[in-house]
Structure 1
């Protein structure tokens, strides 16, 4: 671990304080190790060995964050509620709002084992039938999320479905504005303001209301290690609430390229050209399967897909601000200087019917 890595790790966790906390709640352990997982780009994930138990600690990144963009206690709440539903989620263990322990809210869950598809295709899934099954499992699990009886699992007060989409536009506009306070000194992204106006003018009048994940995409889902792929767990629920499920679908589609797209680079991540190989469902096929599973119709698809890419740009701009302020240790964050303008142009192509 480099000196800068050690410094960042020290900002994430007071190891001795965490050990004392876990001992008080789980009993003593002879083996205790903490390791940072560098795979995500939002909340921080720490792997903890506690004797023979494999645990995960989730906490926000250090430094100032925008509004509720890193609300790990909210994430814990929904995970706890979904424990006995059809949605596969990790087993929850503890939640802590005492900042004297590691300097922030955090929660603890059991570690899951499997495959997270990120950046390249797993060799064991490199077969047309397995590729199709992966896409089907992904969209079927999203349908499971949207079929949860949120009242029955204790999430009736988890959000305000009415006006959800309008608030999404306003919220992510505020996230852009928060980031622009710092990033505008490096470069500006004027097309964002045109997109904001279009989205506000084209909000669908009627929409269904369900539990929504808020960040449902391929690399927030863990699959079985062996083929055929089967969903083992859904992660990263920090943005979940009650709202319009079609916004979740639009978000998933924003990370799923089609062969005819101008670019197969997706979101704030790199290239996902492998998802256009033989066997993987097209976006149209994913939508059709989702509609069959839920009974919802993906009307106003141009709006939901443009909103998703607009949100991706806002996330990237927040990442870029954190990079400029020295509040991140992630090699992708400086890349947002160029990627956010590309995302804004992609959203404009969707608005104009070119993608």
Structure 2
């Protein structure tokens, strides 16, 4: 966990002392929350969020405020991975755009406070879809709307004017896609320093060679999220589905929007798809009646952005390759004893399965 007293002191410096009072309609203070019960101005509690497998998420009660702290996982990480301060910068820039993001409130670059950089944001309430379809969305009309909300929000990200929100220098778009291949090949190299003593994954080297040889020569340039998929999105309570939050911006930059779309498509399942390579990280419910197919998602994205989705095999293969690299990094941390996530040891077998899937996409055996 964290040094809670140090975190509380930071929050007091950044946000002021916690309060349990609110102003009523006349502007006078009360000591009641929305339910009419009294609130404790000194309330402070920290709870680790158990979902997710990368950056750590902590829920913090601070007086009458509900906050979230994001920090990197424990242990050594590959260079540039888990950049939570990057998340803070981009979400702060997007608050007043059509892209729904949680409101960031403070950031800390001093690792002496809780052992790492971190940032704090307001907590957003709703449903993050991880394993199962919410019952309230289980109709063909709501399923279609969920898919449309998802791809429309991705198009909204790609429609942001970076210069207008202070992100003109947020990345190096030229050569972005080739650097993606090189970067994730480097993540494999970092992980393999430890994991190859346990088992080898020769298919990764074949996939690396194909991706390196097939990088598209040109691509559009937009803000990209870097990890856009259902379990990084939040939907409001009730129906119809309304997307109210996009999370996990640590990989965001200026680059090729087709990498975002390829990533989303690699998780989105159509009827008759083969069994998922990593059941723990995938869902099958988008196969059900009503959900848009991958081709329908592509068509809607193209209509909304004005871009065309070319080189599909490359972008979906790159997506699976990146996921496999993340898995191999997880496996290294497991072998080194850094992290207690139950998913990490499963990567011994799941990464080879993802490498095989990557090659099936390359060979055209898993078409769009």
TM bucket normalised to smaller: over 0.9
Moved runs in structure 1, 4+ residues, more than 6 A? none
Deviation, structure 1 residue 272 = 1.3
Which residue of 157, 161, 169 maps to 1:157?
Answer: 169
**Secondary structure at the counterpart of residue 115 of structure 1:** coil
- How far, CA to CA, are the matches of 1:144 and 1:221 in structure 2? 14
* Distance change (3 Å), C-alpha of 1:265 and 1:238: same
Q: Do 1:265 and 1:273's aligned partners in 2 also have CA atoms closer than 8 Å?
A: no
Residue 285 (structure 1) aligned to one of 296, 301, 309: 296
Q: What corresponds to 1:316 in structure 2? A: 327
Q: Is the 8 A contact 2:277 2:350 kept in 1?
A: no
Residue 117 (str. 1) matches residue 126 (str. 2):
no
Answering whether residue 15 of structure 2 is matched by residue 26 of structure 1, we say: yes
Aligned partners of 1:76 and 1:339: how far apart in 2?
A: 31
Whether the aligned pair in 1 keeps the contact of 2:6 and 2:113 (CA below 8 Å) is yes
Partner residue in 1 for 2:32: none
1:284–1:221 Cα change, 3 Å: same
1:275 equivalent in structure 2 = 286
Q: Tell me the CA shift for residue 257 of structure 1.
A: 1.3
1:90 aligns with 2:102: yes
Please name the residue that 1:347 is paired with: 358
Deviations 1:71-112 (A, max 9, x none): 000110000110110100001100000111001000000000
For each residue in 1:97-152, what CA deviation from the matched residue of structure 2 results, as whole angstroms up to 9, or x when unmatched? 01110010000000000000001111111111111110110000000000000011
3-state secondary structure, aligned to 2:273: coil
TM-score (norm 1): 0.95
Residue 259 of structure 1: how far off its partner (Å) = 1.4
Separation of aligned partners in 2, 1:339 and 1:257: 18
CA RMSD of aligned residues (A): 1.0
1:142 and 2:131 aligned? no
Q: Residue 99 of structure 1 aligns to a residue in which SS?
A: coil
Kindly tell me the number of residue pairs found equivalent between the two proteins: 343
The separation in 2 between residues aligned to 1:40 and 1:240, in whole angstroms, is 18
> How far is the alpha carbon of 1:269 from its aligned partner?
3.2
Q: Deviations over 1:227-271 (max 9, x none)?
A: 1111001000000000000000000011111112212455x7344
Report if aligned partners of 1:58, 1:106 keep a CA contact under 8 Å in 2: yes
Return the offset for 1:292.
0.7
Higher Cα radius of gyration: 2
How many Å apart are 1:288 and its aligned residue? 0.7
What's the counterpart of residue 5 of structure 2? 16
Deviations for 1:161-191, whole angstroms, at most 9, x for unmatched residues?
0100000000000000100111111111000
What is the aligned partner in structure 1 of residue 183 from structure 2? Answer: 171
